[in-house]
């Protein structure tokens, strides 16, 4: 009996010991998992600090990178003193490849977080984030309130005027040979009338803040791979759209002129002008040469640019025309003609600070190639030809039977816009971490 009792006691002791070891192992694994999650939170915080500094620099803040160590265009910084409890501390190292990237490039932020428990090896997480400047024109048509298509033969599609990303090469004109199905249109509104596609044919994507787009019996939302018998492709509709549309202000410099004549600017020269307002009527024309920026100082509710009768504005080949105003714009008559292939050469920037405080009406003479950024304006585009570019406004109406072509090159446009994350990956292998081993050594 005694021997049996001893054997049973030994078995029970062995089972209890195994159970205790299992619990201890589970506890250690749980602590490591907890510390791993904490390290992930820290590494994301470090990356966010770098992105914040990038965008402070974009806003012109001279102190954006003050607390960072620099070596040419690269910077780095260590954040210490994170108390995670139970005598566990955390630290973050952040390395930025280029704080002043050239246009079109993608700087990288690399963060290495370490959680240091008192009873085990450190837990590290490493993150590589690729940034790119955001564009105000990431979609073809974007409205805070409503997008409305009026007309029985309206269509939307896209093309890329700069497919190689090199502005030195000749731009590509829109044609059936290069047309694509990325003509995205969007409204942030949640009401049922936010997106009135009506009879338009959208070859792209439709986004709203919560409501389904309203499509007429002859309208469609499709892609090139959508089945022929499908009128509305659900894979090309999203109802969770939201975007930040920051208000802008006009430049404060420029040569004052009381009125404009028949021409403005000089070929091959960049000029900036300030004028109260422009009115063109009868058979008057305004021809733009060179790179012209025009600030119209008419205030909210006033007429800043008015083109009527047979009057017209002509942007010559090789020229660019940029207009800033908080006043109303009405370009009717023969409208505005842009002899350049890329819409970015004709720009309208609405600076009104009140929602619905600005009215912009543009009529195209043949093909209208332009971009409009006026987040508080009601924008109406009239035309029966082709409208190429992008429009951002509070309310957008397309009148007539125009075909709208979004230029995908505009999604890469902007040298003073905020940076956003385009790629996020955790570096988990020794090989992937080795790329930045030298950058993180010694500090």
Domain locations in the chain? 26-134+420-434, 141-176+243-415
pTM of the model: 0.78
Closest CA to 387 of 398, 373, 374: 398
Give the whole-angstrom CA distance, residue 365 versus residue 7.
101
Six-digit token pair at 81?
A: 């003193």
Q: How many Cβ atoms sit within 10 Å of the Cβ of residue 426? A: 12
CA distances from 200 to 156, 165, 213, 295 (A): 7, 31, 12, 35
What is the three-class DSSP state of 135? coil
419, HSE (Cβ side, Cα atoms, 13 Å): 31
Give the whole-angstrom CA distance, residue 88 versus residue 227.
58
Six-digit token pair at 197?
A: 């596609």
What is the three-class DSSP state of 160? coil
Six-digit token pair at 17?
A: 């010991």
Give the whole-angstrom CA distance, residue 51 versus residue 241.
23
With beta carbons less than 8 A apart as the criterion, state whether 387 and 368 touch: yes
Q: Which residues of the chain have pLDDT under 70?
A: 16-29, 364-366
Contacts of 23 (CB under 8 A, 6+ apart): none
**Tell me, what's the pLDDT at 362?**
86
What is the three-class DSSP state of 348? strand
Query: What torsion, rounded to 10 degrees, do the Cα atoms 21, 22, 27, 32 define?
Result: 100
Give the whole-angstrom CA distance, residue 78 versus residue 97.
15
What is the three-class DSSP state of 97? coil
Six-digit token pair at 393?
A: 């406004």
**Tell me, what's the pLDDT at 181?**
96
Six-digit token pair at 417?
A: 């816009």
With beta carbons less than 8 A apart as the criterion, state whether 128 and 46 touch: no
Give the whole-angstrom CA distance, residue 300 versus residue 279.
17
The DSSP string of 368-422 is EEEEEEEEEEEEEEE-SSEEEEEEEEEEEEEESSPEEEEEGGGGG--SSSPEEEE
| Pairing relationship of beta strands 108-116 and 89-96 according to DSSP bridges | antiparallel
Six-digit token pair at 418?
A: 């905020």
Give the whole-angstrom CA distance, residue 319 versus residue 268.
8
Length of the chain: 443
| Pairing relationship of beta strands 185-187 and 123-133 according to DSSP bridges | unpaired
Closest CA to 140 of 443, 433, 410: 410
**Tell me, what's the pLDDT at 381?**
86
Six-digit token pair at 205?
A: 């994507």
**Alpha carbon 313 to chain centroid, angstroms:** 30
Six-digit token pair at 131?
A: 């940034």
DSSP one-letter code for 352: -
Phi, psi for residue 43 in degrees, rounded to 5: -65, -35
**Tell me, what's the pLDDT at 364?**
62
What is the three-class DSSP state of 44? helix
Give the whole-angstrom CA distance, residue 422 versus residue 45.
17
DSSP one-letter code for 213: P
Contacts of 311 (CB under 8 A, 6+ apart): 280, 281, 282, 283, 284, 285, 333, 334
Give the whole-angstrom CA distance, residue 233 versus residue 221.
6
């Amino acid at each position: 009996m005694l021997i049996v009792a001893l054997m049973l006691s030994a078995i029970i002791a062995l089972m209890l010991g195994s159970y205790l070891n299992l619990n201890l192992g589970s506890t250690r694994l749980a602590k490591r998992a907890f510390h791993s999650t904490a390290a992930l939170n820290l590494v994301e915080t470090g990356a966010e600090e770098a992105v914040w500094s990038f965008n402070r620099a974009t806003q012109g803040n001279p102190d954006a990178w003050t607390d960072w160590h620099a070596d040419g265009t690269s910077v780095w910084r260590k954040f210490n003193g994170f108390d995670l409890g139970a005598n566990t501390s955390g630290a973050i190292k952040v390395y930025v490849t280029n704080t002043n990237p050239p246009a079109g490039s993608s700087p990288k932020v690399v963060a290495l977080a370490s959680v240091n428990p008192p009873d085990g090896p450190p837990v590290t997480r490493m993150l590589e984030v690729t940034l790119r400047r955001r564009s105000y024109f990431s979609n073809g048509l974007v409205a805070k309130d409503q997008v409305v298509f009026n007309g029985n033969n309206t269509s939307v599609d896209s093309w890329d005027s700069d497919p190689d990303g090199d502005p030195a090469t000749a731009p590509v004109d829109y044609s059936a040979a290069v047309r694509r199905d990325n003509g995205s249109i969007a409204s942030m509104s949640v009401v049922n009338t936010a997106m009135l596609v009506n009879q338009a044919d959208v070859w792209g994507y439709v986004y709203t803040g919560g409501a389904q787009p309203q499509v007429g019996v002859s309208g469609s939302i499709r892609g090139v791979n959508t089945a022929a018998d499908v009128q509305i492709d659900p894979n090309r509709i999203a109802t969770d759209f939201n975007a930040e549309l920051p208000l802008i202000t006009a430049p404060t410099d420029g040569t004052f002129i009381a009125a404009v004549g028949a021409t403005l600017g000089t070929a091959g020269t960049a000029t900036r002008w300030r004028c109260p307002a422009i009115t063109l009527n009868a058979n008057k024309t305004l021809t733009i040469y060179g790179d012209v920026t025009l600030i119209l100082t008419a205030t909210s509710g006033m007429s800043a640019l008015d083109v009527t009768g047979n009057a017209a504005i002509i942007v010559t080949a090789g020229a660019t025309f940029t207009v800033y105003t908080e006043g109303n714009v009405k370009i009717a008559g023969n409208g505005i003609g842009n002899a350049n292939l890329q819409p970015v050469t004709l720009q309208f920037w609405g600076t009104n600070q009140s929602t619905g405080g600005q009215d912009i009406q543009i009529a195209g003479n043949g093909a209208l190639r332009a971009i409009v950024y006026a987040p508080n304006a009601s924008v109406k585009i009239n035309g029966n030809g082709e409208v190429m570019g992008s429009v951002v406004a509070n309310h957008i109406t397309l009148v007539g039977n125009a075909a709208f072509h979004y230029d995908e090159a505009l999604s890469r446009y902007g040298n003073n816009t905020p940076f956003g994350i385009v790629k996020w990956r955790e570096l988990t292998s020794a090989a992937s971490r080795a790329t930045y081993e030298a950058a993180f050594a010694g500090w």
